[in-house]
Amino acid sequence: MCGTLGCDILHVMLRRRPLPLMLAVVVATLAACTDDETGPGDLDILEQLEAVPGMRVVEGESPDPDARFFELYYRVPNDHHDPGAGDFELRLTLLHRDRAAPMVVYTTGYHNYLYDREVELSRLVGGNQLVLEKRFTGESRPEAGWSVLTAEQVAADGHRVVLALGSIYPAPWLRSGASLGGEDALYHHYYHPEDFAGVVSYVSPFVLGLADARFVEHFATVVPQPCQAQLQALQELMLGEQRAGLVAELEGRVEVDAVTRIGGYDRALQTLVLELPWSVWQVYDATRCDELPAADDPTLGPTVLLDVLDEVVGVELVTDPFFEAYEGYAYQAYTQLGRPALPLAHLDGLVDADYVDLETVIPPPGVPLPFDDGFMPAVHGWVAREAEDVVFVYGGLDPWAAGRIEAGGNDGVAMYFDPQGNHGTKLADLGAEDQAAIEGRLVEWVGVELEYLPPRERSAVRVRVPR
């Protein structure tokens, strides 16, 4: 048996990468902890979850016969710096396999659109999976102003969850996410490095300032230039001689009430056209250009050109419902997370100076947007010099890869690329040597051999989000 303090220390030890030779001793000790009066004992996992103060639990149908599925609603403070400011329910979903299995905590960066779908890392380690919804998205809505939407507050939400469930799941915890969710995973590790044995961040940008020029360089030097030239020629055509026809075509497809926030049809067209190259490299690859028309095709008209924009970008992404759904992301982009610069030299005089891009979208109206120019440089410096147990995965063609952090001198951080990959790049897309290296790190983190559960037929849903 062990006291409460001793058990808590052991839980932290396991999360922070157990030594394989000591693993059996530590697990045996933790088993004693969970059998005495301080632990959950032989209670069913549902009873254990319901016993957590502030936790509301709903068990649902599991997509996997070897796991149980729960919706969790856990009360966290509106403002972690002001306990008297009230609290709200943070929505989580849990796939439970075994208390002794590793826990993978995953964030999308937005609402919990994964729900009961498993991510690559969870299958790889044969672990439990906990998906955290982000404050100000989905059902997780603080009754507070936008100023409490910061990386620190989001990390504190996750930290509260780790403290609440750590004694139920004593094995090592891993943190992961993709794009903005991968950013949130790293920020959690930045503020609370004791919570996890390791972090795997997929395709995550760490943007510097409100006009990060690294992204312009990516389009000029990294992506295949023949395809990029074709895309830029189409942009010039669409915002030049075909502009009036495209605006009229857009008027016939989108209700006028749906383009109020962006400022009308011409502004909406600018955004769609600006997004064309970005969408090709974020979602597709150079083969997409083989399916697109050439700008010098004399038969091209506004109907065909708007079809191209709708297929590659999506006309619905410049409408009010989309911007309203991603106000939280836009607020953070303008106040803390930064904004990429776009290639505009070839569109001189064709784009408004205050253009709207889908990489930043539109912030909530009437809300102050003071930019914290110190946060992201601090994160870059921490990763380059101090961070430990972090793996970054990128697709080489993905524009967001331009926002990566250079940390070549820090052995605690590793970065891997699929040279032809896009914003959907996974570990499975990497070369065999890179996969083996990452799996070696995972074994070190969790202290046991990987489970390698086969991928399930039901793949993760793909949702078009800003990043």
Q: What is the pLDDT of residues 129-145, one digit of tens each?
A: 999 999 999 999 999 99
Token readout for 50 is: 């319901």
Angle between helix axes 151-165 and 180-191 (nearest 10 degrees) is 70
Cα separation, 382 vs 376, whole angstroms: 10
Model confidence band, residue 191 (pLDDT cutoffs 50, 70, 90) = very high
Residue count of the chain: 467
Contact 92, 74 (CB under 8 A): yes
- Burial label for 342, CB within 10 Å (0-12, 13-18, 19+), is buried
The percentage of the chain sitting over the pLDDT mark of 70, rounded to a whole number, equals 90
Q: What is the pLDDT of residues 205-245, one digit of tens each?
A: 999 999 999 999 999 999 999 999 999 999 999 999 999 99
CA proximity to 318, closest of 376, 373, 380, 254: 254
Model confidence band, residue 24 (pLDDT cutoffs 50, 70, 90) = very low
pLDDT (0 to 100) of residue 170? 97
Give the residue ranges of DSSP H helices in 206-258: 214-221, 225-239, 243-253
Q: Which one has a higher pLDDT value, 12 or 217?
A: 217
Cα separation, 278 vs 274, whole angstroms: 8
Q: Which one has a higher pLDDT value, 69 or 27?
A: 69
Cα separation, 220 vs 377, whole angstroms: 24
Cα separation, 112 vs 91, whole angstroms: 8
Our measurement of the distance from residue 245's CA atom to the centroid of its chain's CA atoms, rounded to an integer in Å, reads 37
Q: Which residues of 184-223 are buried (b: 16+ CB within 10 A; e: fewer)?
A: bbbbbbbbbbebbbbbbbbbbbbbbebebebbbebbeebb
pLDDT (0 to 100) of residue 458? 55
Model confidence band, residue 4 (pLDDT cutoffs 50, 70, 90) = very low
Token pair 């926002």: residue:
403
